Structure 1
Amino acid sequence: MTGFRVLKGGILTLIQDIGRLGYQHLGVSRGGPLDAQSAYWANRLLDNEPSAAVLEITAGGFEVEAQSQTMVAVTGGDLNLTINGEPQAPWRSFWVRQGDRLKFGTPRYGFRAYLAVSGGFQTEPVLGSRATVARDKLGGVNGHGEAVREGDYLPCKHLTSEGIARQIPQRYLPQISQQITLHLIPGYQQHEFSKGTWQQLWNQEFKLDHQSNRQGARLQGKALPVPAGEFLSEGVSYGAVQVPPNGQPIIMLDDRQSLGGYPKLGNILPLDGFKLAQCAPGAVIRFQPIHLAAAQQQMRRYLRFFGL
């Protein structure tokens, strides 16, 4: 068997692919990389399919040893990657040999890095996907939704010859920052919120709460007034901005539950969700409105670019 032996599991390292599609009606979360754009770039550097499984490394502390030779690519935040102690820049691919050690330290910028290998990590699919979703106990190394841990083995293909090293052109590199603006598409419940609430939303800053996770990004700021009355539970989409009774918005992410009953302001532009994935707790977040047509145009361009 060929692959990588895990020396340190890091703060949170997960196997992710395009996600578990077609099961949300059964209460199964999709999963997938929080910064999907970075994950797709990592696979593109290696000529992998967009659905190839990668590692999502959150906040660093991860270390592996290659047990074979292959091409790898690293994108996303700069988590101070070294190979055999030598610093390596992200957003490029490179060759690793048997015995090479890859170590991710603390973030220099960004919060999540993505490590891809030629052909993708070859763990066993569960319900058609290798994506790790802890709340559903699905995917990952052993199929039970667990994070990567010390002693795990990450199988991948062995390459007989070195591939061509590539890097992402500068013009395509995303702007990773700890001060971001999220474009919001107001939803059908928008009129449940007062004009004053909307003015407050557009004009104030929020901070990303340390209790945020892959299910939802929790924001902290001056509490928004919450609409009175009961709301029926309904399907929850990626990027939905819920306002619970405490008035602190929650942005629903890839591991969200399938149903929710809190009132919703609308949905953020998914491309902005990728920026959000690179934010550490304490990051400053603002909202700005965007028309549905403009959001659709941006998403069509993104989906065409990556062949999704």
Structure 2
Amino acid sequence: MEGSALMKEIATGFRVLKKGFFALVQDPGRFGYEHIGVTHGGPMDALAANWANRLLDNPASASVLEITAGGLELEARTNCMIALTGGDLNLTINGRPQVPWRSVWVCVGDKLKFGYPRLGFRAYLGVKGGFQVKPQLSSCATVPRDQLGGVHGNGEPLHEGDMLPVAMQHEEGIARQLPQRFMPDYSGALTIHIIPGYQQQKFSRSAWQQLLTQPFELDKRSDRMGARMQGEAITSPAIELLSEPLSYGAVQIPPDGQPIVMLNDRQTLGGYPKVGNILPLDGFALAQRQPGTRIYFKPIGLTTAQQQMRRYLRFFGL
């Protein structure tokens, strides 16, 4: 009796009325499976996703919804606290405009409509307790290239008619808002800090200096696999390299000389020369930039980068 009641409770959630441009269920991702070709996935802007869970007192492992470029419409089939962080995609609830970076109570029948980006590119919708999606390989993160995760377990984004299961919340929680000093700035050009890698010495000194001094534009072909840059071509070393594991944030320079920053859904192996690795915190900021944004690279030491990442991980208890 108790088991059937629990299942009935978790069968509540949000119905997808319009799928929007590209919406994916994400949690921190899959780790320990790259040896079989499975990438880790997870939220492109992990900082925003972690704040969504923090505003709701969720564990960092709770799943959220990553909404890229807007257009998504949902209907609440439950009462619960939600939190919206990341880009401002002009969310309205029952026609009333909502500001991001805060939590709010929604009731059965409420309609959530995401418009198109006002600032930033990806919004994160958290719910109290996280979305109740069945994990695969220890995660429910949606990775289309691996056909893993998501509502249907096959890596597909949300479709009209999908149901996002959420546990019923019987009492309204405390509404919270992120202090202004913690809010990221998604406007204007972005400077990405790069840690020189062990293959950096295979590039000429002029190629390295060119990477650090010239501006690039974020290419419209960028996706969850990698952020592609467009600018004056950088000379890639004329060497043959064996394919090797690719880390998050690795900066490849293919033969056309246009840098590619490898991101969450990257392939697990690659053979293009790599000039270095970006600071992951800058990767989160990069995920909020729209095509055409001006991008600059700036060197950073390994010790400084580690200190910044430790502060971030410690703050969120990761």
Asked whether the two chains share a fold, i.e. TM above 0.5, the reply is: yes
Q: Say whether 1:254 aligns with 2:268.
A: no
* Counterpart Cα distance in 2 of 1:176 and 1:280: 10
Please give the residue correspondences for 1:122-141 in structure 2 after superposition, counting only pairs within 5 Å. Answer: 122-141=132-151
In structure 2, the partner of 1:104 is 114
In structure 1, the partner of 2:306 is 296
Q: Say whether 1:31 aligns with 2:53.
A: no
What is the SS of the residue equivalent to 2:155?
Answer: strand
* Counterpart Cα distance in 2 of 1:280 and 1:150: 25
* Counterpart Cα distance in 2 of 1:124 and 1:302: 28
In structure 1, the partner of 2:51 is 41
* Counterpart Cα distance in 2 of 1:192 and 1:22: 30
Relative to the length of structure 2, the TM-score reads 0.96
What is the SS of the residue equivalent to 1:146?
Answer: coil
* Counterpart Cα distance in 2 of 1:178 and 1:97: 37
* Counterpart Cα distance in 1 of 2:86 and 2:102: 10
Quote the offset at 1:77 in angstroms.
Answer: 0.4
Quote the offset at 1:193 in angstroms.
Answer: 0.5
Quote the offset at 1:229 in angstroms.
Answer: 1.4
Q: Say whether 1:285 aligns with 2:295.
A: yes
Q: Say whether 1:55 aligns with 2:65.
A: yes
What is the SS of the residue equivalent to 1:145?
Answer: coil
Quote the offset at 1:307 in angstroms.
Answer: 0.4
* Counterpart Cα distance in 1 of 2:188 and 2:25: 25
* Counterpart Cα distance in 1 of 2:238 and 2:137: 40
Letter in 2 for 1:225: T
What is the SS of the residue equivalent to 2:67?
Answer: strand
In structure 2, the partner of 1:200 is 210
Quote the offset at 1:100 in angstroms.
Answer: 0.2
What is the SS of the residue equivalent to 1:184?
Answer: strand
Quote the offset at 1:34 in angstroms.
Answer: 0.3
Relative to the length of structure 1, the TM-score reads 0.99
Partners of 1:79 and 1:109 within 8 A in 2: yes
Report the number of matched residues.
Answer: 308
Q: Alpha-carbon deviations, 1:53-72, whole Å to 9, x = none?
A: 00000000001000010000
In structure 2, the partner of 1:176 is 186
Letter in 1 for 2:259: P
Q: Which structure 2 segments of 5+ residues have no match?
A: 1-10
Quote the offset at 1:177 in angstroms.
Answer: 2.1
Partners of 1:177 and 1:278 within 8 A in 2: no
Partners of 1:185 and 1:267 within 8 A in 2: yes
What is the SS of the residue equivalent to 1:246?
Answer: coil
Quote the offset at 1:22 in angstroms.
Answer: 1.0
Aligned-pair identity (%): 66
In structure 2, the partner of 1:114 is 124
Q: Alpha-carbon deviations, 1:136-186, whole Å to 9, x = none?
A: 000001000000111100001101110000011111111112410000000
In structure 2, the partner of 1:69 is 79
Q: Alpha-carbon deviations, 1:120-147, whole Å to 9, x = none?
A: 0001111110100000000001000000
Q: Alpha-carbon deviations, 1:203-248, whole Å to 9, x = none?
A: 1010011111000000000000010110111100000000001000
* Counterpart Cα distance in 1 of 2:210 and 2:169: 56
Q: Which structure 1 segments of 5+ residues have no match?
A: none
* Counterpart Cα distance in 2 of 1:25 and 1:59: 33
Letter in 2 for 1:49: P
Partners of 1:178 and 1:280 within 8 A in 2: no
Please give the residue correspondences for 1:201-280 in structure 2 after superposition, counting only pairs within 5 Å. Answer: 201-280=211-290
* Counterpart Cα distance in 2 of 1:66 and 1:16: 19
